[in-house]
Amino acid sequence: MKDMKWIKQGKFAHRGLHDEKLPENSLGAFKNAISHNYDIELDIRMTQDNQIVVVHDSNLKRLCNKNVIIEKTKYSEIKKLTLLETDEKIPLLTDVLDILPRSTNLLIELKSSKKYKVMINKLIDIMGSYSNKYAIHSFDPRILIRFKKVNPLIIRGQISKKYSCIKLVYGPLLTHLAFNIFSRPDFINYNIKNLPKKQLDRLKNKGILILSYTARTEHEYSFVKDRYDNAVFEKIRP
């Protein structure tokens, strides 16, 4: 039986506790979250040379004003860039882990990748050297299915939302969590813009942990906490 109380009870700062001066997914944002005793939700991707970096976007145009694709660039080049006109840089996952106290728990979002199997293996190896509690979650059901195969003891969650831009049947299948029959997630993390959702109500009644992203007001945060289990937040201090 997996212990998931910490996921329900934790306060997870979305991409760290970021603001105008501390960019998302930066060491500064993570240190800020730690100073407020928050847990952390973050995103990871893999570079061309198989380094795991903490960053949301696949292309660094928004974050660094550079047309740089993470998967096609070595970390030696990525680490030269700065985030949103600050001195903060894109950290390695190990850089983040090195500053975390043991009491800080993590929700790690794996972004979809052609090299997702390599990324999973490397993530498992890295996390084996740290004692922080962590769970993984992803929009990509293949990633959950892979974790279920290689290490089913790791807590895994399916992130989803109402898809409207994917053609044919794939969008509705993702919207309605159809791939859960294969991935068997331990929790669901659903877009707050698409709540409430009757399917999630039924899953919660069956004992499935239901999270939501991203609560940006106290009202949104309270709504999710009251109706479901927990919400990843930003711009507020719950």
Beta bridge partners of 191: 213
Rounded alpha-carbon distances, angstroms, from residue 103 to 156, 186, 209? 20, 22, 22
Q: Is 179 helix (H, G, I), strand (E, B) or coil?
A: coil
* pLDDT tens track for 183-217: 999 999 999 999 999 999 999 999 999 999 999 99
Element (H, E) at 9: helix 5-9
Residue of 75, 134, 145 lying closest to 105 (CA atoms):
134
Rounded alpha-carbon distances, angstroms, from residue 97 to 56, 168, 183? 17, 41, 27
* pLDDT tens track for 72-120: 999 999 999 999 999 999 999 999 999 999 999 999 999 999 999 999 9
Give the pLDDT band (50/70/90) at residue 52.
very high
Q: Which fold has domain 5-20+29-39+101-233?
A: TIM Barrel (3.20.20)
On whether the pTM is more than 0.95, the answer is: yes
Distance CA 122, CA 170 (A): 29
Distance CA 154, CA 136 (A): 8
Give the pLDDT band (50/70/90) at residue 121.
very high
Q: Where are the domains of the chain?
A: 5-20+29-39+101-233
C-alpha R_g of the chain: 17
* pLDDT tens track for 135-188: 999 999 999 999 999 999 999 999 999 988 665 678 889 999 999 999 999 999
